[in-house]
Structure 1
């Protein structure tokens, strides 16, 4: 029974509306063990017939049956399976993949089999040894002679153990010696029980086989048997076809990327610079946020809730409340608390201590003949962090804590510590109960220095001292803020929320600010600035994506013939798409790795320089930043490759194989 059957095959090409028939009703049967030569002149339809037999040409009329099964040439998946499991190709121009060595060229076919990696490597090596190339295994195609290249093509055709070998002018580019050797190899293949079909215009080559089919003007002119087909009793290796794995696609992509590494390195460098800029600005944003948090936490107790008067009586967001406070600064009388309101806060669940206090917007320090004008003096409460006092101790009655910078301004850099234990005059403008301005002043003993640094100067007295100072000036002595200390740090937000919801006579009179609120507000602005800077840097990523797109289109153009080869071997459109997206993703990953190296080098350098100024690491690249960078690189490179990969997968295999 025939293994391969062709029934009433018709094929025409069209130029506009004009039809040019190529095959006119071809009927042929082929058996396993035959070495059939299709003989004819150029233009007689030989190659078209081979493309139909090989499952590459889908646009024709007629039937093709393989091993009794009808091939539906409208079903691309069935043809992919057919080429992968049944057909092996040998070409006149060899059609080897230039960036792969000869072992890897054979492995391209073996990667679509059920063999494991060791078995694939062993079979590829054995086949190359069988065709006389055992000493050339590490060479690339451009390092071989024509005869050697054809032997590699034969080894690749045999690799997956196909039942049918199609050889299109296999000796057309060879000298007589190599021609004889190749024909002997093909005859041995047929003798092993395979069907060998060769296309040739040479009568001498045709005479080597078991049968000659003459094709002229698209018809069978003659079908002559020279000798019987070989027996098909030779045991075949147990090799089953399977679809190409994703790992094999990525390996091929990596091999091509490595082969053209230096050309692609410019693309990777450009992409890496964009990723580096985004990563660095994100790291700077993290560092600034951490620095601000460190500065605030060094001055403010995180268990503290600062309660200020909500002068509107309406419930509002924390941001709106802080804006209202800024607007109320011109009229301090709106911010006073009554003793009853202070006592009410003591009853809030979770509160450890309630301390009324004063925050005054401006004051003057005088020592001997020097004056220092400053903003914001307040009473000492538990709201201050434990390490606020850098030298000395917290203030008691008739004592004051001032900032190191103020002490230096009143004395000198070298002698400021001598101010400890000395009296300074404190002058504070305030208002009386009628909202008229008054001026309070007193001499207080300096008992400690704080270091507000970038956060600003810190000055504080205790509540009793400030109350006595204001009373002496007949100023209003009602507290204008309340410090609430919470027992459990995890309950600070919930206590603050509860306080904001308290009502007096139906009005919301309490606003609450925590360290977290301050940090959230500041970090929001820092984050916005970081995002804007990162977005500006991200423009370079768009340029990088365009570069990758251009590179991939160039790669498709350069690898057109390779695409045809892979499709002829049985790779699916999906595999071709994945080949190019894989290479682009690898470019993205290499770019991400390079950007990380650049970013960490910049981080170390900048932190080394800036630490001497602010005593803090101002660039902090987090694992989240690293993950974002890698993911962004993969996504950008994958998206950039989609259109070129789609174009590659839609190429006609026949046209691709004929590309120069």
Structure 2
């Protein structure tokens, strides 16, 4: 039984409905150790027959059997395995991959064997030394002569240790000396017990083999045995395997490096959109953090402000009317209506709520006159120091204790002593203001307090109090003037920040006689609302910036389609070597992923540089990092880049995998 058997092979091409027969019933047997030359003129069907033998052409009638097993030409995976295990190709046009070094061209076949990395590299070098190119291993094909390129092609064909070596016009582009050397190598290959099949139109080349099969007009018209085949020894051969995914990534990276500057422009264009997204996200983080810091510096986030619950229409209208009639500003909450103030029982109930650590009454005096050493100033709003206040408010000195006061630098301290305002710390000043007493009569509340500190947080809107009196100082003065000391506002301190939200909700749900009593708000809810708006704004900016990512995706798609077009022959070579459609898809997807990941790396680097520059420029506004790029921002950027790369590579990679290997090999 012959090693390779062809039975009744017919092949036709069609132009519309018109049939053009190419092979008209070929029957041939081949044995290992033979060097068979298929001789004939161009157009006689030689190359078509070789494509069928090599498992590249699947559309024909007849059968091909190898070592007693019939090939299933309808099973593409089986043919991939057949080419990977059994067949090695040598082409007239060499068909070396230009962006790979000589040794890498040989390693392509070896990557589909079970040898380890060290063994593969050793075998590749040994094969190159065998064909006289040991010193050229690290050159590129463009740096070799025609004869040298053909020797590389021979080394590649032998790399996977095939039993069948197909040489298509292997000497057609060589001079006489190189032709003789290549023919000698082919004889040596046959002598090793392989089947060498050469397609040629040269009689002198055919005469170098052991057998000549002459084809004319799609038929075998002569089959001549020149000498006996070489003896075949039982030699253990290499085993093949599916191409590992890592090889596709490495090959794609080599192509990326080979065309570095073209690919760099694509990476740069893609990174611009990614950079904008990550920078705007970092800006959102920074602004949110800045707002959080500013608010927390003024108000303790563990404190809840509690007032009496009332419908919007009822408020403090009575109090405002009374103030208008007297021309005075109300000094305490609850002077006009006890419905807006808290009883001791109601305060006690709050103290019993889980996680409540402390409850302070809040008193506020308006238009407070201050006098010291013949100088005076007016405090727009004076509040007793409670758990809600933080030491960050006091820029000079310390927070107020009993009988002490903190005054604002610009609106109070500098007006009392413009040059030596810091010296007011430790001095006792007189404070007074007018308000209504329990009998609804206008009285003056007067008291003295020592300046313990000076704040510097005054704002023109007057919405935040920056003047504080310590302890029960204000309440005592109010009591002495017969002013109602029930509080309309409470500062409720919570034991832990994580419990603030839950306690706020709990207080709002407290009822007496099925009526809601308390209205609780926390600075955390305020911050959350502000941050929601900040996030919305930054997300909108990031979304606008991400429009450029669509352009980036189109750039990658165009690049990948161009890559497929320019590497069509390479695809044919890889398929002929035994790579599957999946391997081809993976190759181009890998290249797109490299572009995507490189873009994300470059975008991240630029974004961090942008962060440093922006924060430096904004340092004059405040010593705070307004741009804060987080790990989440970086990870999100990489995910976006990978998704874009995968989507952009899908269609080009699919097109590459669908290419017919024969058509791909014929591409220019």
TM-score by length of 2: 0.89
Cα pair distance change 1:84/1:409, threshold 3 Å: farther
Equivalent position of 2:324 in the other structure: none
2:309 aligned counterpart, secondary structure: strand
Asked if residue 601 in structure 1 is aligned to residue 609 in structure 2, the reply is: yes
Summarize the alignment of residues 376-455 of structure 1 with structure 2, pairs less than 5 Å apart: 377-395=382-400, 399-407=404-412, 410=415, 414-420=419-425, 421=427, 423=429, 445=449, 446-452=451-457
Which moved further from structure 2: 407-416 or 209-218?
407-416
Equivalent position of 1:260 in the other structure: 259
Gaps of 5+ in 1: 314-323
Tell me, in whole angstroms, the C-alpha distance in 1 between the residues paired with 2:317 and 2:540. Answer: 29
Tell me, in whole angstroms, the C-alpha distance in 1 between the residues paired with 2:263 and 2:369. Answer: 67
1:170 aligned counterpart, secondary structure: coil
Cα pair distance change 1:50/1:506, threshold 3 Å: same
Q: Is the 8 A contact 2:92 2:170 kept in 1?
A: yes
Asked if residue 350 in structure 1 is aligned to residue 350 in structure 2, the reply is: no
Once the two structures are superposed, residues 506-559 of structure 1 have per-residue CA deviations (whole angstroms, 9 ceiling, x without a partner) of 133323333433332222222222212222222222221111111111111111
Tell me, in whole angstroms, the C-alpha distance in 2 between the residues paired with 1:243 and 1:48. Answer: 27
Q: Is the 8 A contact 2:210 2:225 kept in 1?
A: yes
Once the two structures are superposed, residues 386-414 of structure 1 have per-residue CA deviations (whole angstroms, 9 ceiling, x without a partner) of 44323234345665423334346636875
Asked if residue 585 in structure 1 is aligned to residue 593 in structure 2, the reply is: yes
Q: Give the drift of 1:645.
A: 0.9
Tell me, in whole angstroms, the C-alpha distance in 2 between the residues paired with 1:544 and 1:124. Answer: 40
Equivalent position of 1:304 in the other structure: 303
Equivalent position of 1:208 in the other structure: 208
Tell me, in whole angstroms, the C-alpha distance in 1 between the residues paired with 2:62 and 2:565. Answer: 34
1:311 aligned counterpart, secondary structure: coil
Tell me, in whole angstroms, the C-alpha distance in 1 between the residues paired with 2:319 and 2:218. Answer: 99
Equivalent position of 2:543 in the other structure: 535
Tell me, in whole angstroms, the C-alpha distance in 2 between the residues paired with 1:4 and 1:426. Answer: 115
Q: Is the 8 A contact 2:411 2:458 kept in 1?
A: no
Summarize the alignment of residues 155-234 of structure 1 with structure 2, pairs less than 5 Å apart: 155-233=155-233
Equivalent position of 2:272 in the other structure: 273
Summarize the alignment of residues 49-60 of structure 1 with structure 2, pairs less than 5 Å apart: 49-60=49-60
Q: Is the 8 A contact 2:447 2:477 kept in 1?
A: no
Tell me, in whole angstroms, the C-alpha distance in 1 between the residues paired with 2:27 and 2:444. Answer: 117
Q: Give the drift of 1:443.
A: 6.8
Q: Give the drift of 1:359.
A: 5.8
Cα pair distance change 1:506/1:44, threshold 3 Å: same
2:95 aligned counterpart, secondary structure: coil
Q: Is the 8 A contact 2:40 2:215 kept in 1?
A: yes
Asked if residue 496 in structure 1 is aligned to residue 504 in structure 2, the reply is: yes
Equivalent position of 2:15 in the other structure: 15
Cα pair distance change 1:54/1:290, threshold 3 Å: same
1:22 aligned counterpart, secondary structure: strand
Tell me, in whole angstroms, the C-alpha distance in 1 between the residues paired with 2:267 and 2:359. Answer: 60
Cα pair distance change 1:497/1:165, threshold 3 Å: same
2:310 aligned counterpart, secondary structure: strand
Q: Is the 8 A contact 2:266 2:556 kept in 1?
A: yes
Cα pair distance change 1:518/1:214, threshold 3 Å: same
Once the two structures are superposed, residues 23-51 of structure 1 have per-residue CA deviations (whole angstroms, 9 ceiling, x without a partner) of 11111111111111111111111111111
Q: Give the drift of 1:293.
A: 2.4
Cα pair distance change 1:419/1:216, threshold 3 Å: same
Equivalent position of 2:582 in the other structure: 574
Tell me, in whole angstroms, the C-alpha distance in 2 between the residues paired with 1:217 and 1:330. Answer: 113
Gaps of 5+ in 2: 322-332
Tell me, in whole angstroms, the C-alpha distance in 1 between the residues paired with 2:624 and 2:376. Answer: 33
Which moved further from structure 2: 333-342 or 545-554?
333-342
2:2 aligned counterpart, secondary structure: coil
Q: Is the 8 A contact 2:83 2:578 kept in 1?
A: yes
TM-score by length of 1: 0.90
Q: Give the drift of 1:336.
A: 3.8
Summarize the alignment of residues 449-468 of structure 1 with structure 2, pairs less than 5 Å apart: 449-452=454-457, 458-462=466-470, 464-467=472-475
Equivalent position of 1:61 in the other structure: 61
Q: Is the 8 A contact 2:274 2:600 kept in 1?
A: yes
Summarize the alignment of residues 143-158 of structure 1 with structure 2, pairs less than 5 Å apart: 143-158=143-158
Which moved further from structure 2: 436-445 or 296-305?
436-445
Equivalent position of 2:626 in the other structure: 618
Q: Is the 8 A contact 1:303 1:485 kept in 2?
A: yes
Once the two structures are superposed, residues 280-315 of structure 1 have per-residue CA deviations (whole angstroms, 9 ceiling, x without a partner) of 2222222222222222333333432222333359xx
| Aligned residue among 537, 560, 564 for 2:572 | 564
Cα pair distance change 1:148/1:363, threshold 3 Å: farther
Tell me, in whole angstroms, the C-alpha distance in 2 between the residues paired with 1:13 and 1:439. Answer: 114
Cα pair distance change 1:343/1:125, threshold 3 Å: same
Q: Is the 8 A contact 2:183 2:208 kept in 1?
A: yes
What RMSD over aligned residues (CA atoms) do the two structures have, in Å?
3.2
Tell me, in whole angstroms, the C-alpha distance in 2 between the residues paired with 1:656 and 1:614. Answer: 63
Summarize the alignment of residues 66-85 of structure 1 with structure 2, pairs less than 5 Å apart: 66-85=66-85
Q: Give the drift of 1:182.
A: 0.7
Q: Is the 8 A contact 2:446 2:477 kept in 1?
A: yes
Q: Is the 8 A contact 2:382 2:465 kept in 1?
A: no
Q: Is the 8 A contact 1:37 1:213 kept in 2?
A: yes
Asked if residue 645 in structure 1 is aligned to residue 653 in structure 2, the reply is: yes
Tell me, in whole angstroms, the C-alpha distance in 1 between the residues paired with 2:615 and 2:394. Answer: 27
Cα pair distance change 1:413/1:263, threshold 3 Å: farther
Cα pair distance change 1:427/1:651, threshold 3 Å: farther
Asked if residue 523 in structure 1 is aligned to residue 522 in structure 2, the reply is: no
Q: Give the drift of 1:568.
A: 0.7
Q: Is the 8 A contact 1:372 1:410 kept in 2?
A: no
Q: Is the 8 A contact 2:248 2:586 kept in 1?
A: yes
Equivalent position of 2:247 in the other structure: 248
Tell me, in whole angstroms, the C-alpha distance in 2 between the residues paired with 1:206 and 1:300. Answer: 97
Q: Is the 8 A contact 1:401 1:461 kept in 2?
A: yes
Q: Is the 8 A contact 1:392 1:449 kept in 2?
A: yes
2:96 aligned counterpart, secondary structure: coil
Q: Is the 8 A contact 1:54 1:166 kept in 2?
A: yes
Once the two structures are superposed, residues 319-341 of structure 1 have per-residue CA deviations (whole angstroms, 9 ceiling, x without a partner) of xxxxx999999998785434432
Equivalent position of 1:317 in the other structure: none
Q: Give the drift of 1:433.
A: 8.9
Q: Is the 8 A contact 1:357 1:463 kept in 2?
A: no
